[in-house]
Copies of this chain bind each other. A is one copy, B any other.
Amino acid sequence: MARIVMKFGGTSMAGIERIRNVAQRVKREVEAGNQVAVVVSAMAGDTDRLVGFCREASALYDPREYDAVVSSGEQVTSGLLAIALQAIGVPARSWLGWQLPIRTSDAHATARIESIDTAALDESLAKGEVAVIPGFQGVTDANRITTLGRGGSDTSAVAMAAAMQADRCDIYTDVDGVYTTDPRIVPRARKLARVTYEEMLELASVGAKVLQTRSVGLAMKEKVRVRVLSSFDDTRDEDGYRGTLIVGEEEVTDMERQLITGIAHDKNEAKITLVAVPDRPGAVASIFAPLAGTGINVDMIVQNIAHSTGSTDVTFTVPSAELARALDTLEKAKDDIGFQKVLHDTRVAKVSVVGVGMRSHAGVASTMFTALADRGINIQAITTSEIKVSVLIEEDYTELAVRVLHTAYGLDAEG
């Protein structure tokens, strides 16, 4: 007998017909002899509707009240799934965040799970009941409802799996797994049977939006085996696997290990260049300290060698949504930093090659630069990490670059 957590997203819970489909999937796991906890999202669109009400009521809404309002979407679907399970003969009950309880920080609307009391839950599971748990919600020590921020249901599922010491956490979604790259760009992209937490973090944060990044980080920390699979498609691959398993590096066998796991891209970056920054100690700090102070995420940073004039150009990227705020912050700090002028460009994209195998192989970057150069794609900036090489290019070349790299690293499926 295994303990598993199954998590279903908003598309899987959108309407009673789909909830019935979810109930059937849960029933199969119960009949296979598993103890099952199900974590559910609100019906697709429902959270947006509730957030819209709060914003309409006041732009400066109280996040404690926002949480009471917005958490109701998952309360509804968890009750409905419990009813749908009972209707097909599966004993089930809903456990709201405050009922277990799932204790969180009091950072309303962006709370973090601190502890989950599983005593009552264990008793219920032992009786053969399925536990249906609304994702995205918890409760503070002061007994106020909290929510975890958008996409938080993935984090709820992983945290439940960790607290329950579950053997597996299955995340059902509207895609059937994690691919080597976006299949809409590269039709010959391959589904990965396994991927490491580290790779998934890079793939998720740079564009493959299958799982909330925070949930992957938590899974890594708590060593929760996560599987991503489709709610709608039961197809198994040739090895009998469904979906993609996200595991620790030690579980990936040498045979499975690829030099490069996947290619990611992100068009939501904007490039900022500060022209003629004085080339003296502390100059770079004077740029990034005020940006960090206003909570702006800076990603790729390139500092060219100094001009003979004793100044240098500094280029970096920020999320497009934060560009206006970043420019404003820099203008205010202009005298302090001492740059001549600021340039910016939103028509850029970041393309990354990701793979744990990279650590033990040379030549990855070289292959990348050559492949892109051969197609006339100019590289504007480069960053590397232990398992990733990213380049910034002109946005119009994004799809071409992804295709070229997918082929260059031998990721294209056969046939």
Set of chain B residues within 8 Å of A58, measured between Cβ atoms: 83-84, 86-87
A78's partner among B20, B68, B76, B82 (CB-CB below 8 A) is B68
Is A241's beta carbon under 8 Å from chain B?
A: no
Shortest CB-to-CB span from A139 to chain B, Å, is 10
Shortest CB-to-CB span from A397 to chain B, Å, is 45
Among the stretches A49-57, A322-330, A338-346, A351-359, the one at the interface with B is A49-57
Contact A53 B69 (CB under 8 A): no
A82's partner among B62, B72, B82, B83 (CB-CB below 8 A) is B62
Set of chain B residues within 8 Å of A153, measured between Cβ atoms: none
Q: Which residues of A are interface residues toward B (Cβ below 8 A)?
A: 16, 19-20, 50, 53-54, 56-58, 60-62, 64-69, 72, 75-76, 78-80, 82-84, 86-87, 93-94, 96, 98-99, 143-145
- In Å, the complex CA distance between A119 and B62 comes to 23
User: Which partner residue on chain B sits nearest A64 by CB separation?
Assistant: B93
Contact A57 B16 (CB under 8 A): yes
Set of chain B residues within 8 Å of A80, measured between Cβ atoms: 53-54, 57, 65, 69
Set of chain B residues within 8 Å of A83, measured between Cβ atoms: 54, 57-58, 61-62, 65-66, 69
- In Å, the complex CA distance between A78 and B145 comes to 13
User: Which partner residue on chain B sits nearest A59 by CB separation?
Assistant: B87
Listed A/B pairs (9) with beta-carbon separation below 8 Å = A16-B56, A53-B80, A61-B86, A62-B93, A68-B75, A68-B79, A69-B83, A72-B76, A96-B145
Contact A53 B16 (CB under 8 A): yes
Shortest CB-to-CB span from A166 to chain B, Å, is 23
Set of chain B residues within 8 Å of A68, measured between Cβ atoms: 75, 78-79, 82, 94, 96
Q: Chain A binding site: helix, strand, loop or mixed by DSSP? A: helix
User: Which partner residue on chain B sits nearest A54 by CB separation?
Assistant: B83
Shortest CB-to-CB span from A69 to chain B, Å, is 4
User: Which partner residue on chain B sits nearest A74 by CB separation?
Assistant: B72
User: Which partner residue on chain B sits nearest A19 by CB separation?
Assistant: B57
Set of chain B residues within 8 Å of A69, measured between Cβ atoms: 75-76, 79-80, 83
Contact B98 A84 (CB under 8 A): no
- In Å, the complex CA distance between A99 and B98 comes to 10
User: Which partner residue on chain B sits nearest A86 by CB separation?
Assistant: B62
- In Å, the complex CA distance between A76 and B66 comes to 9
User: Which partner residue on chain B sits nearest A69 by CB separation?
Assistant: B79
Shortest CB-to-CB span from A78 to chain B, Å, is 7
Set of chain B residues within 8 Å of A66, measured between Cβ atoms: 79, 83
Set of chain B residues within 8 Å of A65, measured between Cβ atoms: 79-80, 82-83, 86, 93-94
Taking each of A79, A80, A98, which has the highest tally of chain B beta carbons within 10 Å of its own beta carbon?
A79
Contact A53 B76 (CB under 8 A): yes
Shortest CB-to-CB span from A150 to chain B, Å, is 18
A87's partner among B50, B57, B78 (CB-CB below 8 A) is B57
- In Å, the complex CA distance between A66 and B72 comes to 13
Shortest CB-to-CB span from A327 to chain B, Å, is 31
Contact B93 A143 (CB under 8 A): no
Contact A84 B99 (CB under 8 A): no
Set of chain B residues within 8 Å of A86, measured between Cβ atoms: 58, 61-62, 65
User: Which partner residue on chain B sits nearest A82 by CB separation?
Assistant: B65
